[in-house]
Structure 1
Amino acid sequence: MTPGQGRPFALDAGWIAALCAGALAQLQAPALLPHGLAVGLVAFAIAAWALARHLAGRASASGGDAVSVVLAWVAAFALGAGLCAMHGEAALDRRPPAVLDGTTVRLDVRVVGLSDFRQNGARFTADIERVIGASEEVTDALATRRIALDWYGGGRSLRSGEVWRFAVRLRPWSRPMNPGDPDEARRALLAGIDAQGVVLASDRPLRLGAPGGLHALRGSISDRIIESLGGERARFVAALAVGDTRGLSDDDWERLRQFGLTHLIAISGFHVGMVAGLGVVLVRLVWWWWPTLAHRMRRRPAAAAAALVVATGYAALAGFSLPTVRTVLMIAVVAFVIGRRRRSPSAQPLLFAMALLVLSDPFALLTPGFWLSCGGVAWLLWCLPGSADPWSPRTFLKAQWVATLGLLPLGAAFFLQVPVAGPLANLVAIPWISLVVVPLSLLGTLLMPISEALSTWAWQGAAGAMDAFWWTMGQVPEAWSSSRWLPEVSGWSLALALLGVAIVLLPRGLRWRYAGALLVLPMLFPPLAVPPRGEFSVTAFALPRGDALLVRTTTRTVLVDAGPESMDLARRLRAAGVESIDLRIETRRNAGRFGGAASVDRAFVPRDHWRAPGTTASVRGTQRCEAGRRWTDDGVVIVALSPTPPAAGAWPDEACVLRVSSASGRVAWLTSDAGRWVAHRLASPSAGAWVIGAPATLGDWRAALGASGGIATRAPGPSLDRRWPDDLHRVDREGALTWHSSASDAPARARNGPTRWWHPGSP
């Protein structure tokens, strides 16, 4: 039987789309379906699928099977929703109850994955093997769970696969509070992490067991690469060999994002496919050298099996990331089809891989890797003919154009960034990294058991090739390497952008197809709600250990304080739609208000700057924030009322106090942490005024002003928390809040993201 004979081996693309739609409907819901309903949906899906198969068998060839097709799609939707609900219920059941938050327990854990070493300690993931000296309730809630741990001030001696004994204080998952906040609970759900906590170093952690298993192998290979090359040169080689990206700095990631190259540094499906191709080449060489092997096993099935084995091994070294798993599944489908000598359209491996991923792990639909990986392959299958020569330069250039344009809406939605030079950079980076750097990195890994010198030589070649490419990227003018940052993308603008891209990529004979680019504009240039002329808005960000306020007028943006260094305020400002800062004001130069100033200045370069009271100018042209300082634009006036110049910085509670006034007379007082006596000295009754500042003095300012309401910029202390007034808002409970001078007194939430079922406290 020759290739191409046998029964068709095909899966309906509409069925896959319905399956994904059902899972997505449950993932986007605020609550999980009841258990009984989820089980009922799965049972209905199985029965409906059997009925659809029966109807399809009886339908005529004249298209009378439309009912069976629709019924199969309905069954797929129900199956996706029901299975996703059951997976979600199982994941939530593994989380410890909220009453255990803050509890200290002693645990024996095995370190899994690669630990993330930071300036203030280490963050790592571990499997709980034993709970020591705890009640039966606590033991049942934590045994066999996976936990994410922070070890502040320690952790440098951690190695993957080791067994340790820790005293751990459990802590709850936090939900996103600001625009652009990472969703910790969702990340935990995707990684299979059930709890998180902090290692109590005061209780002397103990190492109980030596490294072992696959995680230890990954860690040892990464350590060997670092020892051979040094930390600086080894960072890209370790990332491409075993998926260890810990050595990449923030500046490295920023440059990769500017050129749209992040997908090449993390081990991608393309790299796995290329490694699988090496397995095919190896089998061809063996069969050429020993032709009699063909009598025992045909060359094509042997090559397919070798490709699957090699690809699985490389995916294991990469930690089985989602793009690598997708590629392994596609290779497995191809190997099965070749082994059974069946016919299969070119899209079937992708469809089967998507089906297996959704059925086994519907949470994969929440990851950028699923959509970028599967979406890229789907665009290439649709736009490039199967007969095209893969080695043709024209085919390569067209593939780059299709992949870049097709993934632009998805990349912008996930990363809120559109690199200007992304297409051109990928034209150089993809062949150079994939055909030079990756093979040398893998060759060094394979040579480790044979010769230390040869493996080091291969790694040095990979590092040299990457250094040359990295230097070349650094010579690109800044205007070309810039990116357009986007605010949080809405669902309707993403759908329009995908439709527009699909129209642009239609066959070349349709001259009007370029009009589809107009549908991408609402996502790239979204309409922003700005205050009318003469009015303003104040946004108080929810930063646990600091303050930051954003004042907006019709055309201007003012930032008051910049939060702590660890909070990455620049990302949150970009997600809120900020493109530039006209004035940055420091009310106090402490870590909670000034720590993030350097990163904000690098990202936005403020046009003007009022420095904190009592400090000297570090940049020419800056002015001190003191009484009498004034800024006016768009009919809005910002006036500094304190401290007075002679006493600037002389008193600990004399922070810079600002009053923001609109043309209509509405006033907001930004009081920082100025004390009670400053409030009574400056304040005068102001009907309709609002006070935004530190919780310790917010009540005093409100009483002195007779203000309508107030917003606390951080959590109050325990004693004040117990008697906190109900009509004073708090960002630590409600999230980032925006008060509009032209609207009602109730502030609005600055983050519009909905609550999902995996968030703490959700139904």
Structure 2
Amino acid sequence: MRYAVLFFAFGVWLLQQQSVLPNFAWSGLTLLLAGILLLPRSTLLQRQAYPALLATFACTFGFFYAAFFAQQRLSDTLPAEWQGKDIQIIGVVAKLPSQHEHGLRFVFDVEQVLTPNAIVPPHILLASYDGIREEPLDIHAGERWRLTVRLKQPHGSSNPHDFDFEAWMLENKLRANGYIHRKQDNVRLDALVQSPDYYIQNLREKVREHIQKRLNPFLNQRHPLRIPHTASGKEVLQSAEASVIEKNNYVGVLTALAIGDQAGIPAAQWQVFTRTGVNHLMSISGLHITMLSGLAFAASYWLWRRSARLTRALPARKAAALIGLLVALGYALLAGYGVPAQRTVYMLATIATVLWLSRTVAPSQILAAALLVVLLLDPWAVLSPGFWLSFGAVALIFYVTAHRLRPPHWLVTYGRVQWAMSIGLIPPLLAMFQQVSLVSPIANAFAIPLVSFVVVPLTLLGAVLPFDWPLWLAHQAMGVCINLLEWLNSLPEVVWTQHAPPTWSIAIGMFGVLWMLLPRGFPARWLGLLALLPMFLVLPAVPPEGTLHLVIFDVGQGLAVAAQTHNHALLYDTGPNFNSEANSGNRILIPALRGMGISQLDGLILTHDDNDHTGGALSILQGLPVGWLSSSLAANHPLLQHASNTQRCMDGQTWEWDGVHFEVLHPTAESYAAEKIRDNNRGCVLKISTGKNSILLAADIEKESEWRLLKQHEEKLPATLLVVPHHGSKTSSVNAFVAAIHPRYAVFTVGYRNRFGHPNKEVVERYLAVDSELLRSDRDGAILVEMDAQNISVERYRRTHTRYWHQDIAGGT
């Protein structure tokens, strides 16, 4: 059974790697194999062949099982012609609303579409935006609303080592996203829809509000600063002293531990948790659910066996198992029922069933049963890092604790488990995040018991009792924990970061981990350490001498380009800022650069002062060593204070890196004294050349600057590839400029359905007129270029790494 489940899981995973869904005519093969397996073994099969055929059937069944559900889910789609149009719908707020900077974000179950002929998927993701002159919508979980919305099909950025937003939307049954169009006809129809799912979500919101209501007076007393509340209950700090309160405010953490809502945890605290390796504790993890279920089991078993009447009706062990399972299920539902919570509930359900049937089951069988149920209910779980870390961690615990002839002292077992977690999760963490916390064993040693046995029980008591003291104690205990974590985080080099290891090195590394964790007495366990070395020592290939590797990132409506030679790396612009905690730098560029093996930048060019070009700059300057910063920014610009070596970019600057020539063609030195020049027209234009091939990066320059380049540098303008100026705006790309460059490839860096209408149709026609091959970041994702003196190759990342759920933007409209 265990091996069959593993091969079933492999089949499910294999389906999620496909660019297109399979033809279901092949499902007949699955039925044929099933029929063969139903026959007695002795008639057709020898015993030796049966395991191989069973594995084949399990894998094939998993593959087509996942494909069937994928086909069903993809059938719920928003027609392209209804994107961006006003649609009036009636439905229910299906999940706990979360606060963003300008309003709320929530899942909405569509019950009725009022707009004639409009087709809307049953589950959508909506955002509300608070207008300056309008009262914010007071939206709560479980309410029925009539709303006017504007929707679009799911679409995310596509870059190396990037988060796949479209996969996340598919897994969560969300087939469209958009925003509420603020009109007077947005009205609440019912305060609370009578449904178990909606009732649970409404209960979660009330628990969140209860925790905040109880703790805020305590926090205000310690820090006399008024904290206003929004409709969702999340604190909005509006003072220069806000950072002081935020640092000492752990309400977001307690809320996450009570109901699984992590939106209230500040980014600074998340960074501490991540760098110290305890971020798994700051949500409702399997550890917390198991602990609470175990406490319920022990208490009910102790009480039940003291009643002869109850014991005669039902044995104490069976009653305690049922009560423990119900407590686990209730806590998991309160948490939002994520993959770690599901896995724990299914494992506990298996254990409870074993106790009821008075049978003995191996730990591996329990884990296999949980794995099977998770994938049957959610075939897309294999796309989540939490799935691999969750099941991997439990498997490691069983591996080092089960089937021991003489169980050691519990303290020894605890230390052994900590060692297994520390060494065993290195391969998956490097594969998924390219970083590992070096202080994680120390941090988890005190954080696990403190959070699991003190903070969580007190938080849950405080959530149900009308007293302040349990939450106050939980907040104090969390403060002690975070203070210790901050001290660890302040130590030098607490996190190991590196390139993305090759897949084969991850497999070898896991084998090495399992070898090292064998029971004492096995010979040469230290050899397992050698199997870990390839993950660290096998580096990504760097461009040869005279070769350029260029990545034009898909950052939405903005620009970011990485240029790598044999020994050097340059970043040209840093993309847009998304909100106060997320930007292109920390969400896209740093993970991609790290995965590519670029740990520092020799140079950073910020072409001009515009959010879609400098929005990620601060994260880059704080997250990576930068040799020099060249820009057209004003001398007093705040970003320049974060760089040690700054200069102005200007015409005439040249340098040579590893046989690749770099030259700045614009702006002129005199332009910095002219106050009336627009920032766009002072953008840094860079040409990169090697042999007969060249690339021209034209920033956001407009017609005036293009004519200046035609006048002074016409002979330098021809280029093999051009990043089109100003995203293809009609204010740029005059005919003479396009003709002078005559690019083989013209790249438009544009956001999907951007509000500016870029690229302009007339501009597109100009590049088509000179036979340029057009590439667009919204349609093609990141553009990867490999160029040497003789050849140039161009890869469209979204096409070479496409999955069946990725939206096909025909023409990019």
Same fold (TM over 0.5): yes
- Mapping for residues 17-96 of structure 1, pairs under 5 Å: 17-38=6-27, 40-44=28-32, 46-51=34-39, 54-55=40-41, 65-96=47-78
User: C-alpha offsets along residues 271-323 of structure 1, whole Å, 9 cap, x if unaligned?
Assistant: 11111112112212312542442222111111111111111110110011111
Judge conservation of contact 1:166–1:203 (CA < 8 Å) in 2: no
- Give the SS at the match of 1:201: coil
Aligned to 1:201: 182
Judge conservation of contact 1:702–1:709 (CA < 8 Å) in 2: no
- Displacement after TM superposition at 1:240 (Å): 0.3
Q: How far apart, CA to CA, are the structure 1 residues paired with 2:154 and 2:307?
A: 59
| Alignment counterpart, residue 550 of structure 1, candidates 552, 556, 562 | 562
Alignment of 1:744 with 2:801, yes or no, is no
User: C-alpha offsets along residues 303-348 of structure 1, whole Å, 9 cap, x if unaligned?
Assistant: 1111111111101100111111111111111111111222322322
Alignment of 1:716 with 2:759, yes or no, is yes
Aligned to 2:226: none
- Displacement after TM superposition at 1:680 (Å): 0.8
Alignment of 1:680 with 2:710, yes or no, is yes
- Displacement after TM superposition at 1:631 (Å): 4.4
Alignment of 1:646 with 2:663, yes or no, is no
Judge conservation of contact 1:630–1:637 (CA < 8 Å) in 2: yes
- Displacement after TM superposition at 1:105 (Å): 1.1
- Displacement after TM superposition at 1:90 (Å): 1.1
- Give the SS at the match of 2:94: strand
- Give the SS at the match of 1:565: coil
- Displacement after TM superposition at 1:656 (Å): 3.4
Gap change, CA 1:751 and 1:518, over 3 Å in 2:
farther
Gap change, CA 1:355 and 1:713, over 3 Å in 2:
closer
- Mapping for residues 432-471 of structure 1, pairs under 5 Å: 432-447=450-465, 452-453=466-467, 456-471=468-483
| Alignment counterpart, residue 304 of structure 1, candidates 312, 321, 334 | 321
Gaps of 5+ in 1: 1-11
Q: Which amino acid aligns with 2:604?
A: R
Farther-moved stretch of structure 1 (71-80 vs 96-105): 96-105
Aligned to 1:668: 695
Judge conservation of contact 1:437–1:462 (CA < 8 Å) in 2: yes
Gap change, CA 1:276 and 1:389, over 3 Å in 2:
farther
Gap change, CA 1:612 and 1:31, over 3 Å in 2:
same
Gap change, CA 1:656 and 1:639, over 3 Å in 2:
farther
Judge conservation of contact 1:229–1:460 (CA < 8 Å) in 2: yes
- Mapping for residues 126-165 of structure 1, pairs under 5 Å: 126-135=108-117, 138-139=118-119, 142=121, 145-153=122-130, 157-165=138-146
Identity, in percent, stands at: 28
- Displacement after TM superposition at 1:479 (Å): 4.7
Higher relative contact order (CA 8 A, sep 6+): 1
Aligned to 1:118: 100
Farther-moved stretch of structure 1 (102-111 vs 267-276): 102-111
Q: How far apart, CA to CA, are the structure 2 residues paired with 1:659 and 1:679?
A: 12
| Alignment counterpart, residue 572 of structure 1, candidates 571, 588, 595 | 588
- Give the SS at the match of 1:654: helix
Q: Which amino acid aligns with 2:350?
A: V
Alignment of 1:13 with 2:13, yes or no, is no
Aligned to 1:215: 201
- Displacement after TM superposition at 1:747 (Å): 2.3
- Mapping for residues 197-346 of structure 1, pairs under 5 Å: 197-202=178-183, 204-211=185-192, 213-230=199-216, 231=235, 232-346=249-363
| Alignment counterpart, residue 599 of structure 1, candidates 619, 628, 639 | 619
Alignment of 1:703 with 2:719, yes or no, is no
| Alignment counterpart, residue 421 of structure 1, candidates 422, 439, 456 | 439
Gap change, CA 1:181 and 1:719, over 3 Å in 2:
farther
- Displacement after TM superposition at 1:404 (Å): 2.5
Judge conservation of contact 2:603–2:626 (CA < 8 Å) in 1: yes
Q: Which amino acid aligns with 1:300?
A: R
Gap change, CA 1:132 and 1:553, over 3 Å in 2:
same
Judge conservation of contact 2:779–2:809 (CA < 8 Å) in 1: no
Judge conservation of contact 1:564–1:593 (CA < 8 Å) in 2: yes
- Displacement after TM superposition at 1:487 (Å): 4.4
Gap change, CA 1:168 and 1:156, over 3 Å in 2:
closer
Alignment of 1:358 with 2:378, yes or no, is no
Q: How far apart, CA to CA, are the structure 1 residues paired with 2:774 and 2:736?
A: 12
User: C-alpha offsets along residues 611-666 of structure 1, whole Å, 9 cap, x if unaligned?
Assistant: 32554464364212223444444344433332222222542253233444456464
Aligned to 1:5: none
Gap change, CA 1:513 and 1:195, over 3 Å in 2:
same
Judge conservation of contact 2:632–2:684 (CA < 8 Å) in 1: no
Alignment of 1:761 with 2:808, yes or no, is yes
Judge conservation of contact 2:584–2:615 (CA < 8 Å) in 1: no
- Displacement after TM superposition at 1:24 (Å): 1.7
Judge conservation of contact 2:290–2:328 (CA < 8 Å) in 1: yes
Q: How far apart, CA to CA, are the structure 1 residues paired with 2:43 and 2:482?
A: 59
- Displacement after TM superposition at 1:407 (Å): 2.2
Gap change, CA 1:74 and 1:621, over 3 Å in 2:
closer
Gap change, CA 1:302 and 1:460, over 3 Å in 2:
same
Alignment of 1:185 with 2:166, yes or no, is yes
Judge conservation of contact 1:179–1:751 (CA < 8 Å) in 2: no
Provide the alpha-carbon RMSD of the alignment. 2.8
Q: How far apart, CA to CA, are the structure 2 residues paired with 1:531 and 1:565?
A: 30
Q: How far apart, CA to CA, are the structure 2 residues paired with 1:464 and 1:389?
A: 36
Q: How far apart, CA to CA, are the structure 1 residues paired with 2:49 and 2:336?
A: 43
| Alignment counterpart, residue 485 of structure 1, candidates 497, 501, 518 | 497
Alignment of 1:692 with 2:723, yes or no, is yes
Q: How far apart, CA to CA, are the structure 2 residues paired with 1:245 and 1:466?
A: 15
Q: How far apart, CA to CA, are the structure 1 residues paired with 2:761 and 2:178?
A: 22
Q: How far apart, CA to CA, are the structure 2 residues paired with 1:348 and 1:590?
A: 57
- Displacement after TM superposition at 1:177 (Å): 1.9
**Length, aligned pairs only:** 734
Gap change, CA 1:668 and 1:73, over 3 Å in 2:
closer
- Give the SS at the match of 1:512: coil
Scaled by the length of structure 2, the TM-score of the pair is 0.84
Q: How far apart, CA to CA, are the structure 2 residues paired with 1:707 and 1:365?
A: 42
Q: How far apart, CA to CA, are the structure 2 residues paired with 1:511 and 1:438?
A: 42
| Alignment counterpart, residue 777 of structure 2, candidates 713, 725, 731 | 731
Q: How far apart, CA to CA, are the structure 2 residues paired with 1:481 and 1:122?
A: 38
- Give the SS at the match of 2:630: strand
Alignment of 1:627 with 2:647, yes or no, is no
Farther-moved stretch of structure 1 (263-272 vs 553-562): 553-562
- Displacement after TM superposition at 1:133 (Å): 3.1
Farther-moved stretch of structure 1 (432-441 vs 701-710): 701-710
Judge conservation of contact 1:536–1:552 (CA < 8 Å) in 2: yes
- Displacement after TM superposition at 1:486 (Å): 4.2
- Give the SS at the match of 2:525: helix
- Give the SS at the match of 1:129: strand
- Displacement after TM superposition at 1:204 (Å): 4.8
Judge conservation of contact 1:547–1:561 (CA < 8 Å) in 2: yes
Judge conservation of contact 2:88–2:114 (CA < 8 Å) in 1: yes
User: C-alpha offsets along residues 514-553 of structure 1, whole Å, 9 cap, x if unaligned?
Assistant: 3333333343455223222344333221222211121222
Q: How far apart, CA to CA, are the structure 1 residues paired with 2:696 and 2:765?
A: 25
Judge conservation of contact 2:555–2:584 (CA < 8 Å) in 1: no
- Displacement after TM superposition at 1:205 (Å): 2.2
